[in-house]
Amino acid sequence: MTYKATPFILLDGQAREAIRFYESALGAQVVLVKTYGEAPDADDQGLSAEARERVTHSVLVFGGAELYVADCLPEEPAHAGPRVQICVTAPDVAASTRIFSALKDGGEVVAPLEPIYFSPAYGIVRDRYGVTFQIFTERPAEN
């Protein structure tokens, strides 16, 4: 099985500015930017215009490395949790479940591991040492 750990920077409305900065400072290539408003259930969530424009996920590539940058929602200030988290990409739901369960032992579930529009199993857990991990499961390849 192949796993990947990626730094994930969480900001409070400055993600687009940070993306431009890292693009310039690191020579990073922006390969993906998604907003909260692009989520399939965005209309059902009652998001404000500001929240809809915030970045929910972005991927920047520089050299052989990736960096993820996103905004929290306006009602969930970034200062409420660590600004830099680790995103663990697992190859399947079983692997994600195992990792999530191990990390939550003595820790705290921030968001339960469950299917979401961009992953078959995604969750956030803070381990017993206060390190926040996002567990992301790759989607199976479509034939």
Delineate the domains of the chain, giving CATH numbers in brackets.
13-73 (3.10.180.10), 81-143 (3.30.720.110)
Q: With bands split at pLDDT 50, 70 and 90, how would you rate the model's confidence at 136?
A: very high
What is the pLDDT averaged over residues 110-134? 92
- Residues, the chain: 143
Alpha helices (H) along the chain: 15-26, 49-53, 93-104
pLDDT for the residue numbered 141: 74
Question: By three-state DSSP, how is residue 32 classified?
Answer: strand
Burial of 74 from C-beta contacts in 10 A (0-12 / 13-18 / 19+): middle
Instruction: Give the DSSP letter of residue 75.
Output: T
Q: Tell me: pLDDT of 143 over 60.
A: no
Question: By three-state DSSP, how is residue 73 classified?
Answer: coil
Q: What is the pTM of this model?
A: 0.75
Tokens read off for 72:
């929290």
Q: What are phi and psi of 131, to 5 degrees?
A: -85, 130
pLDDT for the residue numbered 51: 92
pLDDT for the residue numbered 82: 64
125 sits in which H/E element: strand 119-126
22 sits in which H/E element: helix 15-26
pLDDT for the residue numbered 77: 65
CA distances from 79 to 13, 38, 58, 122, 125 (A): 12, 25, 20, 22, 17
Query: Which region among 4-13, 54-63, 73-82 has the lowest average model confidence (pLDDT)?
Result: 73-82
Cβ atoms of residues 5 and 87 within 8 Å? yes
Q: With bands split at pLDDT 50, 70 and 90, how would you rate the model's confidence at 78?
A: low
Query: Which region among 71-80, 101-110, 131-140 has the lowest average model confidence (pLDDT)?
Result: 71-80
Alpha-carbon span 13 to 11, nearest angstrom: 6
Q: With bands split at pLDDT 50, 70 and 90, how would you rate the model's confidence at 117?
A: confident
Over the chain, what is the mean pLDDT?
A: 89
Q: Which residue has the higher pLDDT, 75 or 121?
A: 121
